[in-house]
Chains A and B, each alone.
Chain A
């Protein structure tokens, strides 16, 4: 597959009164045409800022200070204001976390979608008008002909997010960046939105960059995952591979900190102690070492490079999980589930199967 987006050594910094916040510090990643990629990490690890950098929407007092963002063969970082305006929406669209506030409360939903199209020359005003209903239908909004006349407050949270996706897709972009698209929604609606994104990716071939802290979401739609920590990529690889054998202790901990309903737990949830580092004063060496259970002396002295650990899988770690003795890892996951709870969990319907039926 051809590469659609290639971010090279991106550095985005915020110039605050406290000092320079290194929100994105040398991130490199790529998205292929039609691919779904997950960008995962805690709050404040630079996921959103990486995405906003791609659209050059970094808020004040932030600035892209280094690196390149290649979209096909054009460099986003050197586009002039007119080019960047054409680029946004046309080539890359973004949907935001909170659908409650992402729609203009005083404008009808249909008109907002239409405006996403008339902002560019791609569709004539007449075509734009005609595309509103099909777009709403495409994101599965029932009774679209009538619903396009509604105001956002008449939409439910899930419907608003669908409308946002319709807006994002209005100009048929090649890449849709979804920044925590389901965080503000309840679980059943989350599942619907994710299914929708999956279907759209299949039907339209739109590449999707899903930004989330939810590993389960990544597993359900992404083919590749990028794990970020403290403004840098710490591990990257195919989803199934990363889930099976995460090599960076941070990825490993993230995976073990998520409760799973689809299996009877024999192990305890691992919590990552401490807080993400202050991005103004980063620790020396590996940025994760103060919170790492498997650190060595070297970790606090020298930052590890992003090294290949397996086919298509890279990790930024001196230790690597495969070198950690099984017992050491197990110690963090003592069996705590009482017998009766385990039995109860066993009797629950098989969700894995239900999901496959979709």
Chain B
């Protein structure tokens, strides 16, 4: 009952037999690029980031006005050559304030994701990997946390800390990590049952290495997508807080503060509400488009 075994040596492989080397991220980028909305979103976000980074420099070289300097004689003017988007009721340049507002929004949007990863990511990872009692304990804690209404929770925390940029993003981060924790746990639970994790254990890899080299990289796709969608949500929350008056404090320009300021004179100068509103909308849409694009590009079922 012998098995037919080919006696000839393996065919020598030729150059053209070897498929083109395509890394995971090259592949993701290829598919991301095909989604026009996502690319448009990415371009806008890049512009916003450049604007946020360079806003201070632009004021120094005199390209835009100082966002805090008041020109009482120019209260609530419409767009003009000197003030492209007009001025607010205190005569501050709207364009400049919008550009500085992007700083606040992006900083909060992105830094908050860091807190999500730190708290939610760690809790989800530990709960999913350890399983059993640890999992139960951590997830019940998460459930309790989730039971608090988030806006109220943030409000309470911000009033405790006294409003500042730092306290806002800490508060948002502390309150909203729950979603990420659940997502990461779910990912880890399914990945740790995969055979490659078992084979890693069979060659004697440590827990640390398995988590770092096998679980995290394989869970990365959905995490990145969630974080991308989390950015506009955090930006919106900051705007809402600033609008209520517990967020960024005047005279620092933030989109939420600007809407609040403009709201006082909404009939006289609607543009003062309109411009920051549009800025928020465009930013949120851009991040959402990027998130959509990434979700499709990172979907393992669409690989190759």
Contacts and interface: CB of A to CB of B under 8 A. Distances in A.
Nearest to A92: B202
B204 A107 contact: no
A358 B202 contact: no
B195 A115 contact: no
Given A96-B199, A98-B195, A357 B300 contact: no
Contacts of B198: 57, 96, 102
B1 A149 contact: no
B61 interface: no
A191 B3 contact: yes
Interface string B1-32: 11111110011110001110111100000000
A103 interface: yes
B62 interface: no
A86 interface: yes
B36 interface: no
Contacts of A357: 7
Interface string A224-263: 0000000000000000000100000000000000101010
Contacts of B204: 85-90, 116, 119-120, 171
A94 B202 contact: yes
Contact of A93 (B12, B23, B203): B203
Contact of A154 (B1, B19, B213): B19
B91 to A, nearest CB: 55
Contact of A191 (B5, B17, B304): B5
A190 B202 CA distance: 23
A222 B217 CA distance: 39
Contacts of A150: 19, 21
Contacts of A243: 1
Interface residues of A, number: 62
Contacts of B303: 153
Interface string B236-264: 00000000000000000000000000000
B1 A140 contact: no
Nearest to B203: A89
B2 A355 contact: yes
Given A85-B206, A146-B18, A262 B24 contact: no
B161 interface: no
Contact of A88 (B2, B131, B203): B203
A195 interface: yes
A147 B13 CA distance: 11
B34 interface: no
Contacts of B199: 94-96, 102-103, 164, 167
B69 interface: no
Interface in B89-138: 131
A352 B2 contact: yes
B218 A355 contact: no
A57 B201 contact: yes
A151 B23 contact: yes
A24 interface: no
A124 interface: no
Interface in B192-242: 194-196, 198-206, 209, 213-214, 217-218, 220
Contacts of B196: 101-105
A192 to B, nearest CB: 7
B303 to A, nearest CB: 7
A106 B1 contact: no
B15 to A, nearest CB: 9
Contact of B13 (A142, A149, A191, A194): A142
A175 B205 CA distance: 18
A119 B4 contact: no
Interface string B43-71: 00000000000000000000000000000
Interface stretch (A6-14, A213-221, A268-276, A292-300): A213-221
A115 B11 CA distance: 29
A140 B218 CA distance: 29
A143 interface: yes
Interface string A193-218: 01100000000000000000001110
Top 7 A-B pairs ranked by shortest CB distance?
A89-B204, A142-B13, A89-B203, A88-B204, A355-B2, A116-B203, A358-B7
Given A89-B205, A106-B220, A215-B1, 4 more contacts: A106-B217, A143-B18, A191-B4, A195-B5
25 contacts: A89-B202, A95-B199, A96-B198, A101-B195, A102-B198, A104-B213, A115-B200, A116-B205, A142-B13, A143-B17, A146-B18, A151-B23, A153-B304, A154-B22, A167-B203, A191-B6, A192-B5, A216-B2, A217-B3, A219-B3, A220-B2, A260-B1, A262-B1, A351-B2, A358-B7
